[in-house]
């Protein structure tokens, strides 16, 4: 992974973590940027779901930036989930949430590259 792409990918993950923590902590900056932009106060269920999401994002960072054991299946699953995230964010009712499709695209592309490495 070249340095520019790696730095850009870290920024994408940083943005994700910033938003996810904002939802978990029920911060106002996240209201229009997450969960469809439809909440003035995040329900407990969504906050718990985002707590799980935080653990997943941390695991994704571990997979892409450290030499941890991995299977091709988990890389494919994360590629699929990241691709779905691109679509969901791009189609959001919230104009501010649509911008999240950009970091989601970078993350999906990173997992695509990992898939390609694994199949060669």
Q: What's the pLDDT score for residue 111?
A: 96
What is the predicted pLDDT for the residue at 120?
61
So what's the pLDDT on residue 117? Answer: 86
Q: What is the helix (H) or strand (E) element at residue 22, kind and residue range?
A: helix 3-24
What per-residue confidence (pLDDT) applies to 12? 97
In this prediction the pTM is: 0.91
Query: Quick one: pLDDT at residue 119?
Result: 66
CB-CB contact of 32 with 94 (8 Å): yes
Interaxial angle between packed helices 72-90 and 44-65, expressed in degrees from 0 to 180 and rounded to the nearest 10 = 130
Which residues of the chain have a pLDDT value below 50?
A: none
Identify the domain containing residue 71 by its residue range: 3-119
Q: CB burial class (10 A; 0-12, 13-18, 19+) of residue 16? A: buried
Tally of structural domains, the chain: 1
Those residues whose C-beta lies under 8 Å from the C-beta of residue 15, and which sit 6 or more positions away, are: 100, 103
């Amino acid at each position: 992974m070249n340095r520019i792409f790696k730095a850009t990918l870290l920024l994408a993950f940083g943005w994700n973590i910033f938003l996810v923590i904002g939802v978990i902590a029920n911060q106002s900056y996240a209201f229009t940027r997450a969960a469809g932009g439809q909440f003035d106060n995040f329900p407990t269920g969504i906050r718990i779901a985002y707590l799980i999401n935080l653990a997943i994002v941390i695991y994704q960072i571990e997979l892409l930036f450290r030499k941890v054991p991995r299977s091709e299946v988990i890389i494919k699953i994360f590629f699929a989930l990241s691709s779905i995230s691109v679509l969901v964010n791009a189609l959001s009712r919230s104009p501010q949430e649509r911008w999240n499709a950009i970091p989601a695209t970078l993350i999906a592309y990173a997992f695509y590259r990992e898939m390609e490495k694994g199949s060669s």
